[in-house]
Structure formats: structure tokens, C-alpha cells
């Protein structure tokens, strides 16, 4: 019995154990299955990074300011700030080795918002640093480097005009008095989620150059944050999904692709990974080589064009194609008009876009703009502060692009040509650097007085000002290289090979179709017709004589 009882107990325990085990197993399986359903999601969503910054103790704290975050970043990334310090993104200075001009955002004048000096706290919202509020900014301080503006992946990090490169540390009304508030940035959240740069991070500044979305470039605006194939074949978010860094391949934080010394004609072949020279200039041939169209016949004929025409000329048929208008002209001379209530006013077009602003003057906007075309060899010369400007000499070119049909270095490039009317000193014959942004007594956007604004701005620039103000017509050319359309949408042959076509104003080259001479055409047709007639007569006579 005992044996039986103990056997039964043993059996019962065994059964219980199995039952308990099976319960536990089932519970565990269910829990694991539940987690796996979502856990699989977690794994699937994991990016290629080998580091989860949220796990770093240095970043598991509250941060009161951007520099505090940078100090934490530099504990591991010891060389990062030193590298950034050497780049144009940091110095905003560039010495053009070809002509010795001292350029960079800090030095050039343009015909959009004009210039940086005396407007630092506003313009430096696009500087990769913290605290550049005046000419005394410390360019040697490592903690002044802003890591987050390029490495944010949350999309919540932003720097506001007027804060000298800082993000808002508390909810901030912008513009002041508008009732609209920008939220304080959660620095800990952003720091724990840093990652590679993206179209969003680069675009946070480059899409908004000139003071607004799409204003400056025409081929760069917020529509490129997640574009479709029709807008850009390379950045197509559902296709190749290139980031800016795919072409502007960065080393030691230095981003290639210069507006001051661009590569207008890349004569090298495709750059193959693994070769000793691992450079990758941000040019089309760097990937597509010198024979980009594959096949014979029509493709071969297209390849015949690559030593004359930049790829962009055919493959970017229009700019501002993503639904965001670009500014085509800006007339500062009409600024300062007030509304019926005596206050600054805005005028908008039928699409709701601002075409007049009391602070800035009149604008002309454009969408789906056909570029202008010019020979370009990569040489850019700027009209800088102190260079002579004369109203009577017609349009002042803010930047003069070198190039001709005969120099062997030029290609025909598409350009956005931006026209401005901006203040200048008619006595000293120079462009001027007005103090526009600010809440002080001399800021133009506060008091609408050019003399006071220019006096302040020129003092900060260290340049003489006569006290007199007039306006001069200016022009600035922007070579176009983004918004590459699908090949089906490329410029057709007939759009250039015709009279009055896209290349009508491009000189120094014979373009069949455009340059046809009626007399030469007539002679040619007569010769061809004569040859045909001769052959027919000759053949006919032989037939007749044979029959005879």
C-alpha cells in the first residue's frame, strides 16, 4: 500500500510537476510570444548603429544648456570639436586660394538678408555653435560646438533666431508678441537619440537659407525632406533615399561641396570604393563616370554632350518643383511702407505667400522655374565690402562666375539668377551691411531708418559710411545641382536645339537647330536635292537606253 500510495504520490507529484511546468511554460511562452510580437518590431526597427546613446550614463541626466550636452559628448568623442573647429560650418570663413578673396558667411554680402555683422544673434541660429552673439565669440571653446543640430534624430531640436545659436531652453514666444510659442527643447531626449546626419538636419539650415523655406537656392527646400522620385531621383524617400551625406561624403566633420570653389567640370571617372584615393567629390561623374548614358544610338549621342553640357542642365528641367516657391527677386528699396493702421504690414498673393513685407520690401516668387544657362568653370569672384559699386554701371554682380566656351574648363550650367535692389553708399561707392535684426533703436526692422541701421552695421563691420543711402540693382547666380528629375522628365533635345530655346543666350558654341542659317540651309538642301535628281536622271537614262 505504502508502495502504492507513495507511487501514487510520486505519480501525483510528477503529474503536478508536469502540470505546473506546462503552466509555467505556457505562461512564459505567452509572455514571450506577446513580447516577441512587438519585440520583433523592436529588432526590426533597430538601426545599424552599434551604440545606444540612451545607455550612456553621461547622457542620463538633465541638461540646462547646449554646451552642457557638448561637454558630455566630448567625454567619448574626444576629437570631434577640434575637427569641427577647422570646418567652414564653424569658422564661416574661407580663403579662396584662386583669387585670395576672404569669403565665408562672415565676410560675404548677398542680396537676400545682406550680411551677418551686427545681426549675429539672429543669423547664427544656423551656426554649428552656441553663443555667437557678437564679434567676441570664442571660436576656440570646444563646448561651444553644437553637436545636436547635425546629429538630432528626433526632429524636435531647433535653434531660434535671436538666441545666438542656442535652442530654446524654455517655451519661447516667437516672434515676440505673436502669441506663438516654440517649445523648450528636451536636451536629454535629443542627446540620448543622436545619430547620423539626415536630410532633416542639413535641411534645418540649408532648406531655409535667405530667411525662409526655399528662399535662396531654388533647388533646396523643405520638400526635399521626404521627396518622391519625380522631385529627386536620388533622395526619393521610397527609392534610393540618399541623404545629403551620400554625395557630400564627410570626413572628420568636413563636408565637401563648396559654393565658393565648386567643381564645375569633373574630368575623372567614377570613384570606386577601395582605391587608394578614397575621395568622392560631390559631382555627378564621381558615381556616373564620363560615359553616363548606357547603350549606342541615342545614348551615344547624349554622351557626346558631356564635354559641353553639365549633367544638371538636362536633368534638372525646373527648380522649386516640390510645392515650395523660391524667391526670384527682392527689392529692399520699397521697404518701410506701413499699413493703414500705421503698423508694419504684409501683402500676400492669391496662394497666401508673402510678396511684400514692410521690414523687407517687395518679393517676386517662382515655382517650377526654368533655370538660366551660362558657361561656368568653377571660378567665383565676389563683390565684397569695400569693392567699388556704381549705380551708373548697371547691375552689380554680387558673385561673378567665370567661364567661356573656349577655356577648356567650362560646361554649360543651369543657374538660378537672383535679382536684388539693395542699399549702398553712393558717396563711398560701396555695398553696405545694415543692422536689420534686433530690438534696439538702430535695427531697421524695429525703427525702419536706413541711415541709423547702416551706420551701426558699418561700424561693426569696421567700414566707412558717408551717411547717405541709395539703392543699387544687384544680381547673384546660384549653380543648380539638386532636384534631379527622373530621366523620363529630362530636358528634351528639341528644347535646346531650336530657336528661342533654353540655350538661346549661350554663346560661343554652334547648336544645331538654334544656329541654323537659312542661306546655308538652302544651299545644303539644293545640293542634296541636286544629288538626288542627278542620280534619278542618270538611273533613268540608263534604263531608257538599255530598253532601247
Nearer to other proteins, 171 or 470 (CB): 171
Interface region with other proteins, contact rule CB under 8 A, candidates 99-107, 154-162, 245-253, 540-548: 154-162
Residues 6 or more apart from 331 whose CB is under 8 A from it?
Answer: 361, 362, 363, 420, 421
Nearer to other proteins, 109 or 149 (CB): 149
Number of shown-chain residues binding other proteins (CB under 8 A) = 36
Is residue 34 part of the contact set for other proteins (CB under 8 A)?
Answer: yes
Contacts 24+ apart (CB under 8 A), 241-244: 243/196, 243/197, 243/198, 243/199, 243/202, 244/197, 244/198, 244/199, 244/202, 244/203, 244/206
Is residue 269 part of the contact set for other proteins (CB under 8 A)?
Answer: no
Show the cell assigned to 479. Answer: 549653380
Nearer to other proteins, 218 or 479 (CB): 218
Q: Is 363 exposed, middle or buried (0-12, 13-18, 19+ CB in 10 A)?
A: buried
Is residue 198 part of the contact set for other proteins (CB under 8 A)?
Answer: yes
Minimum distance from CB of 20 to other proteins (Å)? 11
Is residue 338 part of the contact set for other proteins (CB under 8 A)?
Answer: no
Minimum distance from CB of 44 to other proteins (Å)? 7
List binders of other proteins among 204-243 (CB under 8 A).
223, 225-226, 228-229, 237-239
Nearest to 146 by CA among 251, 45, 65: 65
Tell how far CA 348 is from the center of its chain.
26
Q: Give the number of other CB atoms < 10 A from CB of residue 392.
A: 5
**Residues 4, 2: Cα–Cα separation, whole Å:** 5
List binders of other proteins among 304-323 (CB under 8 A).
322-323
Nearer to other proteins, 75 or 184 (CB): 184
Pairing of strands 102-103, 94-95: antiparallel
The binding track of 444-483 with respect to other proteins, each residue x by CB under 8 A or -, is ----------------------------------------
Nearer to other proteins, 45 or 64 (CB): 45
List binders of other proteins among 40-99 (CB under 8 A).
40-42, 44-45
Nearer to other proteins, 99 or 368 (CB): 368
Is residue 498 part of the contact set for other proteins (CB under 8 A)?
Answer: no
Nearest to 446 by CA among 177, 124, 100, 50: 177
Q: Which residues of 136-166 are buried (b: 16+ CB within 10 A; e: fewer)?
A: ebeeeebbbbbbbbbbbbbeebebbbbbbbb
Minimum distance from CB of 42 to other proteins (Å)? 5
**Residues 398, 132: Cα–Cα separation, whole Å:** 26
Nearer to other proteins, 41 or 272 (CB): 41
Question: What single-letter DSSP state applies at residue 472?
Answer: E
Is residue 27 part of the contact set for other proteins (CB under 8 A)?
Answer: yes
Which residues of this chain interact with other proteins, rule CB under 8 A? 23, 26-28, 30-42, 44-45, 154-156, 158, 183, 198, 200, 223, 225-226, 228-229, 237-239, 322-323
Amino acid at each position: 500500500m505504502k508502495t502504492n500510495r507513495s507511487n501514487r504520490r510520486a505519480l501525483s507529484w510528477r503529474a503536478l510537476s508536469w502540470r505546473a511546468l506546462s503552466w509555467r511554460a505556457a505562461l512564459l511562452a505567452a509572455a514571450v510570444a506577446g513580447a516577441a510580437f512587438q519585440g520583433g518590431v523592436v529588432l526590426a526597427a533597430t538601426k545599424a548603429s552599434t551604440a545606444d546613446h540612451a545607455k550612456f550614463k553621461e547622457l542620463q541626466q538633465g541638461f540646462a544648456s547646449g554646451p552642457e550636452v557638448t561637454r558630455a559628448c566630448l567625454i567619448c568623442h574626444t576629437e570631434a570639436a577640434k575637427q569641427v573647429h577647422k570646418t567652414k560650418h564653424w569658422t564661416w570663413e574661407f580663403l579662396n586660394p584662386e583669387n585670395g578673396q576672404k569669403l565665408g558667411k562672415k565676410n560675404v554680402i548677398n542680396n537676400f538678408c545682406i550680411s551677418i555683422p551686427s545681426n549675429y544673434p539672429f543669423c547664427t541660429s544656423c551656426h554649428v555653435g552656441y553663443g555667437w552673439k557678437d564679434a567676441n565669440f570664442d571660436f576656440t571653446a570646444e563646448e561651444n560646438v553644437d553637436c545636436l543640430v547635425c546629429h538630432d534624430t528626433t526632429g524636435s531640436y531647433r535653434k531660434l533666431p535671436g538666441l545666438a545659436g542656442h535652442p530654446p531652453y524654455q517655451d519661447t514666444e516667437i516672434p515676440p508678441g505673436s502669441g506663438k510659442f516654440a517649445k523648450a527643447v528636451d536636451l536629454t531626449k535629443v542627446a540620448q537619440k543622436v545619430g547620423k546626419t539626415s536630410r532633416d538636419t542639413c535641411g534645418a539650415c540649408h532648406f531655409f537659407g535667405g530667411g525662409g523655406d526655399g528662399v535662396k537656392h531654388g533647388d533646396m527646400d523643405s520638400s526635399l525632406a521626404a521627396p518622391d522620385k519625380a522631385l529627386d531621383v536620388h533622395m526619393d524617400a521610397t527609392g534610393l533615399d540618399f541623404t545629403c551625406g551620400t554625395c557630400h561624403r564627410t570626413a572628420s566633420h568636413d563636408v565637401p561641396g563648396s559654393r565658393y570653389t565648386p567643381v564645375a567640370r569633373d574630368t575623372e571617372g567614377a570613384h570606386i570604393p577601395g582605391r587608394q584615393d578614397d575621395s568622392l567629390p560631390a559631382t555627378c561623374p564621381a558615381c556616373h563616370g564620363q560615359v553616363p548614358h548606357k547603350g549606342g544610338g541615342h545614348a551615344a549621342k547624349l554622351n557626346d554632350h558631356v564635354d559641353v553640357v553639365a549633367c544638371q542642365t538636362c536633368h534638372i528641367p525646373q527648380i522649386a518643383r516640390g510645392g515650395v516657391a523660391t524667391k526670384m527677386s527682392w527689392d529692399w528699396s520699397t521697404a518701410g511702407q506701413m499699413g493703414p493702421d500705421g503698423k508694419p504690414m504684409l501683402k500676400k498673393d492669391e496662394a497666401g505667400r508673402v510678396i511684400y513685407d514692410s521690414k523687407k520690401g517687395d518679393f517676386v516668387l517662382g515655382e517650377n522655374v526654368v533655370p538660366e544657362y551660362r558657361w561656368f568653370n568653377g571660378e567665383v569672384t565676389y563683390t565684397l565690402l569695400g569693392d567699388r559699386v556704381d549705380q551708373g554701371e548697371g547691375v552689380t554682380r554680387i558673385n561673378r562666375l567665370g567661364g567661356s566656351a573656349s577655356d577648356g574648363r567650362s560646361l554649360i550650367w543651369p543657374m538660378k539668377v537672383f535679382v536684388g535692389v539693395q542699399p549702398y553708399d553712393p558717396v563711398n561707392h560701396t555695398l553696405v551691411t545694415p543692422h536689420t535684426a534686433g530690438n534696439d533703436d538702430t535695427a531697421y526692422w524695429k525703427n525702419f531708418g536706413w541711415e541709423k541701421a547702416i551706420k551701426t552695421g558699418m561700424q561693426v563691420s569696421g567700414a566707412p559710411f558717408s551717411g547717405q543711402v541709395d539703392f543699387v540693382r544687384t544680381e547673384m547666380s546660384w549653380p543648380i545641382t539638386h532636384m534631379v528629375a527622373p530621366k523620363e522628365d529630362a530636358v528634351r533635345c528639341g528644347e535646346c536645339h531650336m530657336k528661342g530655346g533654353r540655350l538661346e543666350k549661350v554663346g560661343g558654341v554652334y547648336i544645331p537647330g538654334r544656329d541654323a542659317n537659312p542661306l546655308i540651309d538652302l544651299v545644303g538642301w539644293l545640293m542634296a536635292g541636286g544629288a538626288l535628281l542627278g542620280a534619278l536622271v542618270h538611273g533613268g537614262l540608263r534604263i531608257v537606253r538599255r530598253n532601247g
